[in-house]
Every structure is written in structure tokens, then in C-alpha cells.
Structure 1
Amino acid sequence: MPTITTQDGTTIYYKDWGKGQPIVFSHGWPLSGDDWDNQMLFFLAQGFRVIAHDRRGHGRSTQTWTGNEMDTYADDLAALTAALDLSDAIHVGHSTGGGEVARYLGRHGSKRVAKAVLIGAVPPIMVKTAANPGGLPIDVFDGIRAGVAGNRAEFYRDITLPFYGYNRPGTKISEGIRQHWWLQGMMGGIKAHYDCVKAFSETDFTEDLKKIDVPTLVMHGDDDQIVPIGASALLSAELVKGAQLKVYPGLPHGMCATHPEVINPDLLAFIKG
């Protein structure tokens, strides 16, 4: 399997297919690079080089018990881009992966980056604080931690319903998509997944967003039950200079999987624009 080894000895698995301008995909919690199947196949056919890694502690990468926080995630991404000697890359991040992309750009700059896309992404900050009164109460994230620690397999099965909007009346449920989510989640390490809840919910990306100096597209479903749009995309689009905001009426957090026929052409238009 193609891997790199980071400075602390962590093995990061990645997929690297095709030739052309590289598109680097950063996945959400607690998934893996496989969550980008629909996008990687689509952009491979469009003549792009597509790359997706499994974040440390996730998928086929080392089940780390340390380094499960955004600075290290960003450093791992920087190590991957350096090892592959990427330039003029488009970085696409979903959910937690959107935070990873923002922190990568804020921490390492944009010398290797052409454009960025944040999809259903967690920035600027998810948790409710005095400075972020529109955020979610810490109790929400304590509940996620309790679910991971108590019965991760059951919790991961149940969370697929709001993740894909399958709890909405009249929605057609794909059991295959649900099972794919569950399988990805269970491949990862419980310690890394537990720690990552703090990383995606309590990290403040405000200053990272202000540093982004490449064309940026912010995409979000307005029925996102995992990362509510009001405390995320609407604020991020204001913080990133010149960012484009595209809101998808009625679409859920996992819209890349449920509606690739909508998301992929919009991604392509932005990349080629």
C-alpha cells in the first residue's frame, strides 16, 4: 500500500491516481479516503490527478494514540504534499477535513495550492463559547464522546441517519451508503476517534480562514444536521477573502455521497473557472 511516514513515526496511507493537476481530498470524521469514491472516479475521468489520504487514526493509517489534533493533522497533510511534490493543487475538505485544509493553509501557506474547497466544513468553530454564541453546546460533543466510548458500533450505525438526512420524512434511504460509512468508521482507532471530537468541535479556525489567499469555494447544505450552516459556512465565507458561497437547499451533511450528480459538476466548474 502507498504510505508515507511522518516525523513521529505515524504511517499515513494514501491513494494517488491519474495524471494532471492534483486534487487532494481530506475526509470527515471518523471516515477514510474511501468516502471520496464518487468524487475521485469523476475527476479521474476528467483528466485530473486525484489523491486521498486516511487521516492518522483513521482508515488504514496508524491507529495513533497521540497527535490527534488539528496542528498535527495539518502537518501530516503538509508532509504528504511534500512527499508527492505537489504544486498547483486543489485542496477539498469535507467536515473535519475542511478544518484540516484551513489549518494546513493557515499553518503552511499556499505555495503548493491553487484553490481550496470547504464542504460541510467545521470552521470557524463548532462549539458554543462567549465569542461564538451561535455554536453547539459542549453537551452535544460530550454525547458524541459517550457514544464512541460506550458502544461505538451502534453509535456509528445510528449517526448515519442524520448524517445523510435519512431521518427526514419521505427520504429514500440507501442502506449501502449507511453500511459504507459504518465500515469506514470501524476501520479506525477508537482512541483517535475519541480525541478527534475535541479537534473538530473546539478548534478555532478563525485566524486560519483569514490567512487563506487562494480562490475558495464554501459549499454547504442548509439541512446539515451535523454541522449547522449558520455557525459554519455562513461565517467562514465572510472570513475568507473573496470566498464564494454556494448553499444547497434541503441537502444533508453527507451530500457528496447522496447527491454527487449535483456536487461534482459544481466542483468542476469552480476548479476550471
Structure 2
Amino acid sequence: MNHDARLATQPGFIRVNDHTALHYRDWGTGTPLVFLSGWTLNADMWPYQSVPLVQEGFRCVAYDRRGHGRSNDPGRGYDYDTLADDLEAVLDALDLSGVTLVGHSFASGEIVRYLSRHGARRVAGIVLLSPASTPYLLKTDDNPNGLDASLFAAALDEILTSFPDWIERRALEYFAPGTSRAAIQWTADMMLRASLHAAVQLNRIQTSTDFRRELARIDVPALVLHGDSDASAPLELTGRPTAALLARGSLKVYEGGTHGMYLNQAARVNADIAAFARLCTA
């Protein structure tokens, strides 16, 4: 038995269709919340949601995307269709329904593609926290508020030159002022555990995929939580237009909120997730 096969049969791992093993955590009982992590992050980003929400009676599931954290890096499948299928494999393996999907940053696109590809039979509602993939980032004739492709190309060149330095140059603005160096390093270490190949491929699809039509077809309750000081995914580029396209969407803007609200404003984020999930499953 090869290493990947052994890994996929261990507790805490789910094997998906192409024999990639995904690491997951499953804490608590009750109404299920499934957390999808931001770009290059993994399930380790969610304890400040999962622990308090378990104490409030929720079941909290988080998993490492392929090529991230403790999951396999198969060298392929770094596209939204495959990532959506991976999410379906996790929900199916754990036999989850009535789920509230909570996605940070890049994961907004995963959630939208999941609903487009697999429907909402398992999903009660969605929470998009600091969305950074939706609705469409690239500037085009019919998307004049997007960003020029040259900006994305320059950032990708930085990543391919030195990903640690790319992270360091953006670390302070990711979090709120006064965030400790220890907390910043915690996130940087998590990001550097991701496969660079996966990081590059996901960066490319994030900056080039148009989700506008898919967002408009979503018919489940949706909550967008976004900070007005988010330098990684500005509110007017992603959060506000994403909420506007969702038929049953609402937007909560956090004054002074940054991309790292899951840490800096965890108590408020948790309260909003809990209230929304209870409403969706009432």
C-alpha cells in the first residue's frame, strides 16, 4: 500500500474520487457548520470559531483543501470544479445536511461553484467572510470596476520569486493594527505549508473566474461579512457587489474590519454566524 493510500484510510482523512486524501476536523454535535479556508490557509485558521461555536451547540467541520495543510498534494485538481467536488465528497462522507457553509476569502468561489455544480440539497445557507473571489476581479469591458491584469501578473511574479517575502510585505495590513507578531507568524506559517504549485494555480483561477451569473442563480439564504478596511479584498470590489447579486443575500459591514476578521473580530463574526445559522435552520 502506498503512502497516499495509507493516509486515506486513517481517521481524520477522507479519500476523494482521484484518491487524494483530505484531512478534516469534526467537533461537536448539532446543526452543522462547514468551514472552508482562505487561499493557502487550512483548517487551523478556524479554532477561534469552532471552539466557541461548539460550546453553543453547533457541529463544526473544517478540512484542508488539496495541496494545503495535512491533505495530499496530488499536483492536479486545482480548479473550481474539482474543489467543489472535494467539498461534496466531504459532505457525503460525513452524511451532512442542513449545512451552513462558511467560506473565507478564496473559498467564496468554491462555495458558489459548489452550489452551481451540486445544488443546495445539503445546504441551508452560506456565509461569505471577506470574499475575495467573487463576483469577478478582472477588469474587462463589461466589468470596468475590476483590476487590471497587469496587477495580478506582478503579484504572481512576486509569489514565484519568494512567497515568504510576498507574505511579509502584506502581513501588517492583513490584520488590525496592534495584532501581535506571534499571530501574524501563525498565519504566515500556515500559508507556507501550502503547496506552491497549488497556491499559484489557485491564484490564477481566483483572478480570472467570472462568478456573476452563478451568484445570480443562488437561491439559498446568504450572509456576506466584510470589513471596510480590507486591503486584501476591498469591500467595493468584492463584498458589496457579491451581496448585491445574491437573491437572498444580506451584507454586514464591519467598521475597521480587515481581511483577518476571523481573528481580530472573532466574537462578532461568531455571533453573526450563529444567529444566521439558527435562522436558516429554524
Which residue of structure 2 aligns with residue 118 of structure 1? Answer: 128
Match of 1:182, SS state, is: helix
CA displacement at 1:268 relative to structure 2: 1.4
CA distance in 1, matches of 2:269, 2:233: 17
Of residues 38, 50, 67, the one that matches 2:48 is: 38
What does 1:98-247 align with in structure 2 at a 5 Å threshold? 98-121=108-131, 122-165=133-176, 171-247=177-253
Residue range with higher mean Cα deviation, 56-65 or 44-53: 56-65
Any stretches of 5+ residues in structure 2 without a counterpart? 1-10
Q: 1:249 to 1:28 in 2, by over 3 A?
A: same
TM-score (norm 1): 0.94
Of residues 18, 27, 45, the one that matches 1:17 is: 27
TM-score (norm 2): 0.91
CA displacement at 1:225 relative to structure 2: 0.7
Match of 2:46, SS state, is: helix
The alignment covers a number of residue pairs equal to: 268
Across the aligned residues of Structure 1 and Structure 2, the Cα RMSD in angstroms comes to: 1.3
CA distance in 2, matches of 1:267, 1:150: 38
CA distance in 2, matches of 1:203, 1:155: 23
Of residues 103, 109, 115, the one that matches 1:93 is: 103
CA distance in 1, matches of 2:170, 2:201: 18
CA distance in 1, matches of 2:158, 2:73: 19
Which residue of structure 1 aligns with residue 8 of structure 2? Answer: none
**Contact in 2 for aligned 1:64/1:192 (Cα 8 Å):** no
CA distance in 1, matches of 2:129, 2:195: 24
CA displacement at 1:207 relative to structure 2: 2.2
Match of 1:253, SS state, is: coil
CA distance in 1, matches of 2:208, 2:223: 23
**Contact in 2 for aligned 1:64/1:191 (Cα 8 Å):** no
Match of 1:185, SS state, is: helix
The percentage of aligned residue pairs carrying the same residue is 37
Q: 1:207 to 1:229 in 2, by over 3 A?
A: same
Match of 1:230, SS state, is: coil
Give the partner amino acid of 1:246. Answer: K
**Contact in 2 for aligned 1:57/1:64 (Cα 8 Å):** yes
| Cα displacement string for residues 174-218 of structure 1 (whole angstroms, at most 9, x for unaligned residues) | 112211111111111110011110122111111221222111101
CA distance in 1, matches of 2:211, 2:52: 30
CA displacement at 1:162 relative to structure 2: 2.1
**Runs of 4 or more above 4 Å deviation:** none
